[in-house]
Structure 1
Amino acid sequence: MATGTEPPHLAPGRGVHDASRAAIAARHLRTDRWWLAPAATAAGLLAFVVYSTWRAFANADYYAAPYVSPFYSPCLAENCVPMKGGPNWEIFGSWWGLSPALLILIFPLGFRLTCYYYRKAYYRGFWASPPACAVAEPHGSYSGETRFPLILQNAHRYFFYTALPVAGILTYDTVLAFRDETYAWGHAGLGTVVFLVNIVLIWAYTLSCHSCRHIVGGRLKHFSKHPVRYRLWTWVGKLNTRHMQLAWASLFSVALADLYVYLLATGAFDDPRIF
Structure 2
Amino acid sequence: MTAGTTAPGRARINARTLRTDRWWVQPAVTVLVLVAFIIYATVRAFANGDYYAAPYISPFYSPCLAANCVPGSSEVHLLGSWWALSPALLILVFPLGFRLTCYYYRKAYYRGFWASPPACAVAEPHGKYTGERRFPLVLNNLHRYFFYIGLVFNVILTYDAVIAFRDADGNWGHMGMGTLVLLANAALLWLYSLSCHSCRHAMGGRLTHFSKHPVRYKAWTLVSRLNTRHMLFAWLSLFGVALADLYVALVASGALLDVKFF
Please tell me the TM-score bracket, short chain as reference. over 0.9
Matched, 1:170 2:157: yes
Query: Match of 2:190, SS?
Result: helix
CA contact (8 A) 1:42 1:122 kept: yes
Which string of whole-angstrom CA distances, capped at 9 and with x for unpartnered residues, describes residues 35-65 of structure 1?
Answer: 1100011101011000000001100010000
Distance 1:71 1:25 in 2: 48
1:200 counterpart residue number: 187
2:37 counterpart residue number: 48
1:258 corresponds to which of 239, 245, 254: 245
Tell me the CA shift for residue 20 of structure 1: 4.2
CA contact (8 A) 1:212 1:236 kept: yes
Map 1:51-90 to 2 at 5 A. Answer: 51-83=40-72, 87-90=74-77
Matched, 1:139 2:126: yes
Distance 1:57 1:127 in 2: 28
Q: Give aligned-pair identity as a percent.
A: 69
Which string of whole-angstrom CA distances, capped at 9 and with x for unpartnered residues, describes residues 64-83 of structure 1?
Answer: 00000000000111011122
1:8 counterpart residue number: none
Which string of whole-angstrom CA distances, capped at 9 and with x for unpartnered residues, describes residues 91-129 of structure 1?
Answer: 111011110011111111100010000000011111111
CA contact (8 A) 1:213 1:236 kept: yes
Query: Match of 1:99, SS?
Result: coil
CA contact (8 A) 1:17 1:23 kept: no
Counterparts in 2 of 1:186 and 1:24: CA distance versus 1, 3 Å: same
Tell me the CA shift for residue 269 of structure 1: 2.0
CA contact (8 A) 1:74 1:88 kept: no
Matched, 1:34 2:2: no
Tell me the CA shift for residue 184 of structure 1: 1.3
Which string of whole-angstrom CA distances, capped at 9 and with x for unpartnered residues, describes residues 185-225 of structure 1?
Answer: 10111111111111110101011110010011100011111
Distance 2:238 2:6 in 1: 37
**CA RMSD across the alignment:** 1.2
Distance 1:186 1:41 in 2: 41
Q: Larger Cα Rg: Structure 1 or Structure 2?
A: 1
**Regions of 4+ moved over 3 Å:** 13-16
Return 5+ residue gaps in structure 2 as ranges. none
Map 1:1-275 to 2 at 5 A. Answer: 15-83=4-72, 87-275=74-262
CA contact (8 A) 2:3 2:124 kept: no
Query: Match of 1:265, SS?
Result: helix
Tell me the CA shift for residue 24 of structure 1: 1.1
Which string of whole-angstrom CA distances, capped at 9 and with x for unpartnered residues, describes residues 142-199 of structure 1?
Answer: 0000000000000000101100110000011001110122221101111111111111
Distance 2:17 2:10 in 1: 14
TM-score (norm 2): 0.97
Tell me the CA shift for residue 27 of structure 1: 1.6
Counterparts in 2 of 1:174 and 1:119: CA distance versus 1, 3 Å: same
Paired AA for residue 176 in structure 1: I
Distance 2:214 2:74 in 1: 37
Paired AA for residue 135 in structure 1: V
CA contact (8 A) 2:199 2:223 kept: yes
Aligned length: 261
Return 5+ residue gaps in structure 1 as ranges. 1-12
Distance 1:70 1:42 in 2: 23
Distance 2:31 2:5 in 1: 24
Distance 1:138 1:261 in 2: 43
